[in-house]
């Protein structure tokens, strides 16, 4: 493990990054990184609508700027926007000034469509200095407790069963979308069917946190 990543572990272990939400409500948070993208976002939104589910979409600033229509649809259909910085790169390797620019530029694009309360660093690890920048901007860092790793994070045929076995009340599920990740709508469709049979509903992060 390299030195920057080791340095990023401390804030996570000290609880400054949200991993799950203690709650009695039969709900979990569904989160999707790296969009929006025409290859996956419309189909994913259709799946969520069929299930009556909601999610938090952690958008990349450069993709949100390129596809404002998709960001607008995400917000219009009752989903939540999260800040995933400007481009898909390991945040923990960025100098603080570069991270701050990436975060602020993304926030500006997303806030044109609705409130943004959460951020998720690229590659899932923040540093203490990066967290301070995000917290000063009013953003809470959130990671996850159940993460799809196959299919570049979009899942594969066995992912819904594997994730369904570990998703519980208050869990934060992490999936990825975008080019090469066209499997994610099917993953979400099957996962939501499984969790519904257990009486669990998928909601956005703010709704989950508000019901804790």
> Which residues are tagged catalytic?
33, 176
* Residue 76 CA, distance from chain mean position: 18
Q: Name the phi and psi angles at 40, rounded to 5.
A: -135, -35
In this structure, what token pair is assigned to residue 9?
């572990």
Integer Cα distance of 22 and 140 in angstroms: 16
Closest Cα to residue 32, out of 195, 156, 159, 154?
A: 154
Please, what is the angle between helix 41-51 and helix 184-197, to 10°?
Answer: 10
Residue whose tokens read 């869990």: 171
Residues 120 and 84: beta-carbon distance below 8 Å = yes
Query: Is 44 exposed, middle or buried, given 0-12, 13-18 or 19+ CB atoms closer than 10 A?
Result: buried
How many Cβ atoms are within 10 Å of 2's Cβ, its own excluded? 10
């Amino acid at each position: 493990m390299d030195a920057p990543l080791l340095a990023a572990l401390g804030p996570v272990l000290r609880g400054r990054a949200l991993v799950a939400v203690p709650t009695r409500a039969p709900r979990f948070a569904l989160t999707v990184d790296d969009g929006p993208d025409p290859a996956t976002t419309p189909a994913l939104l259709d799946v969520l609508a069929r299930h009556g589910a909601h999610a938090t979409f952690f958008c990349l600033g450069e993709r949100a700027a390129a596809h404002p229509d998709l960001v607008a649809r995400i917000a219009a259909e009752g989903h939540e926007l999260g800040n995933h910085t400007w481009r898909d790169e390991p945040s923990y390797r960025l100098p603080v000034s570069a991270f701050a620019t990436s975060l602020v530029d993304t926030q500006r694009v997303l806030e044109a469509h609705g409130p943004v309360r959460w951020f998720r660093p690229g590659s899932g690890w923040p540093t203490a200095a990066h967290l301070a920048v995000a917290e000063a901007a009013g953003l809470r860092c959130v990671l996850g407790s159940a993460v799809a790793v196959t299919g570049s994070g979009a899942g594969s045929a066995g992912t819904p069963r594997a994730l369904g076995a570990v998703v519980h009340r208050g869990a934060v599920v992490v999936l990825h979308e975008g080019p090469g990740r066209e499997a994610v709508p099917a993953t979400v469709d099957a996962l939501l069917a499984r969790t519904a049979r257990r009486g669990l509903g998928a909601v956005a992060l703010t709704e989950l946190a508000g019901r804790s």
